[in-house]
């Protein structure tokens, strides 16, 4: 019993004398593998160089300008000096600048340094934060000589030493 095989019209027929040699096929495979490793190496080196460049930018970024908060007390002026980019003011002992005053909320106000300026922001305090006698309802730029009031605590701002 003979079985007839039907070949599709568009099929590629490779004749035995036209077959690729095993050595040529191996060379093509090795070339493709080498190109893949070259591409992967290029990608890794590019990522590594970019990370080094970003680290250099971060390293050369200007540090936060020092900020000093001055408070008039019965015994004289008390100064609070900070050299970091975020300063939290409140009654909580975990705050950077803590005051034992019932009119000050636990986390009352935040001073933050970004865009090369100091900014003040009320943190949802009960008695509000005031900048130069105006209520702080949004983040506002602070400059030297400004007066910040948190509850009954009045602070004068000095920026940069």
Does the pLDDT value for residue 16 go beyond 60?
A: no
What's the confidence (pLDDT) of residue 9?
61
Does the pLDDT value for residue 143 go beyond 90?
A: yes
User: What does pLDDT average to over the chain?
Assistant: 87
Average pLDDT (117-134) is 93
What's the confidence (pLDDT) of residue 40?
97
Average pLDDT (42-50) is 97
Average pLDDT (15-43) is 85
CA distances from 33 to 25, 27, 36, 45 (A): 12, 10, 5, 18
Structure tokens at 23: 């050595």
More confident residue, 132 or 64: 132
Does the pLDDT value for residue 60 go beyond 90?
A: no
The dihedral of CA 97, 100, 105, 107: what is its sign?
A: positive
CA distances from 157 to 13, 67, 109, 114, 147 (A): 87, 7, 14, 17, 6
Judge if pTM exceeds 0.85. no
More confident residue, 61 or 10: 61
pLDDT digits (tens, 9 = 90+) for 77-91: 999 999 888 999 999
Q: Give percent of the chain above pLDDT 70.
A: 85
Does the pLDDT value for residue 20 go beyond 70?
A: no
DSSP codes of every residue in 17-34: GGPPPHHHHHHHHHHHHH
Average pLDDT (146-150) is 94
Query: What's the CA gap between 155 and 149, in Å, rounded?
Result: 6
Does the pLDDT value for residue 141 go beyond 80?
A: yes
Does the pLDDT value for residue 150 go beyond 90?
A: yes
User: In 3D, which of 90, 92, 135, 141 has the Cα closest to residue 112?
Assistant: 141
Q: Do residues 122 and 109 lie in contact, with contact meaning Cβ atoms separated by under 8 Å?
A: yes
């Amino acid at each position: 019993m003979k079985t007839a095989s039907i070949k599709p019209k568009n099929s590629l027929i490779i004749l035995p004398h036209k077959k690729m040699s095993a050595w040529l096929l191996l060379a093509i495979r090795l070339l493709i593998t080498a190109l893949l490793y070259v591409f992967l190496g290029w990608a890794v080196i590019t990522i590594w160089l970019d990370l080094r460049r970003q680290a250099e930018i971060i390293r050369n970024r200007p540090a936060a300008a020092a900020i000093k908060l001055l408070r008039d007390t019965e015994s004289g002026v008390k100064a609070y000096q900070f050299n970091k980019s975020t300063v939290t003011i409140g009654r909580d002992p975990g705050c950077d600048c803590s005051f034992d005053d019932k009119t000050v909320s636990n986390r009352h106000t935040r001073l933050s340094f970004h865009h090369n300026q100091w900014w003040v922001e009320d943190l949802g305090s009960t008695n509000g934060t005031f900048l130069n006698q105006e209520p702080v309802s949004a983040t506002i730029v602070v400059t030297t000589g400004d007066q910040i009031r948190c509850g009954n605590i009045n602070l004068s701002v000095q920026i940069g030493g």
